[in-house]
Amino acid sequence: MVISKDRKVEDIVNILEKLYPKTPIPLKHKDPFTLLVSVVLSAQCTDERVNQITPILFDNADTPLKMSRLPVGKIEKIIRPCGLSPQKSKAISGLSKLIVNKHNSKVPQNFKDLENLPGVGHKTASVVMSQAFGYPAFPVDTHIHRLAWRWGLSTGKNVEKTEKDLKRLFPESKWNKLHLQFIFYGREYCPARGHKLEVCIICSKYRRKEGFK
C-alpha cells in the first residue's frame, strides 16, 4: 500500500498535536539575549545541563553590556560543564560585544545579522527568530534531521536540505510549534539509541521502507 506524503504529514501533525498540545520552550530564559546565549551553550549539550548552568552565568551577567565586560576566562570557567567551553566562551563574549557596539545592545531580529554574530549559525538564528521573536522558522538540528529521514519526510543529506523539505511539507503557521513537538517526541518515543518500534507511534506506521513515497 502506498501512503501519500499529504496523508502522512496530516497524520503526523495530528499525533504530535495530541501528544504535545502545549510546547514550552525547553531552555530557560527571560529575554532574547539570555535565549541566544542558552542556545549557543546547547550545542552538543543537553538542555537540562544548560538550564543548570545559565542561572550561575546570568547572575554574573545577564545583558549584552555586562557579558561583554565579563572576562572570557570567567565565562569559560562557569560554562565548562556544558562542554566546548573555550569556543563557547569566546563566542558568547564576542557576540555580546558585537550586539553592544553594532546593534545598540539589542539582539537583532533578522537572520543576516544574527548569523553574523560569533558562534551563531542558521539553526541557532532560527531558534532565536522563532522562540524570541515569533518569526516563522523551522530550526533543524541533527535530531530533527534524523526523525525526518526515519519518517520518510526528507531524503536530505544535510540539515539544510531537510529544513527545505519540512518547510515545503508543513504549513508555515505550524513551523514554530512543530519544531518543538519534533524535539519532545524524539526524546520520548524516537531516540537515536535504544529505539523501540513498538513504543514509537510514528515509526510503527511510517518508518522509511518500501511503499512510501
Per the annotation, the verdict on 6 as an active-site residue is no
- Distance (Å, rounded) from C-alpha 133 to C-alpha 139? 14
Q: C-alpha distances in angstroms, 208 versus 22, 28, 187, 192?
A: 28, 35, 19, 15
> For the residues of 134-182, what is the DSSP string, one character each?
--------HHHHHHHHHTTS---SSHHHHHHHHHHHS-GGGHHHHHHHH
- Answer yes or no: 5 catalytic: no
Question: In terms of C-beta density within 10 A (0-12 exposed, 13-18 middle, 19 or more buried), how is residue 158 classed?
Answer: exposed
182 within 8 A of 162, measured Cβ to Cβ: no
**Nearest 10 degrees: CA dihedral of 100, 105, 110, 115?**
30
The active-site residue, picked from 88, 123, 165, 177, is 123
- The amino acid occupying position 15 is I
Q: Is 188 helix (H, G, I), strand (E, B) or coil?
A: helix
Please tell me the distance from the alpha carbon of residue 63 to that of residue 74, in angstroms, as a whole number: 16
What is the crossing angle of helices 72-79 and 47-60, to 10°? Answer: 150
Catalytically annotated residue among 8, 88, 141, 177: 141
**Active site amino acids:** 123, 141
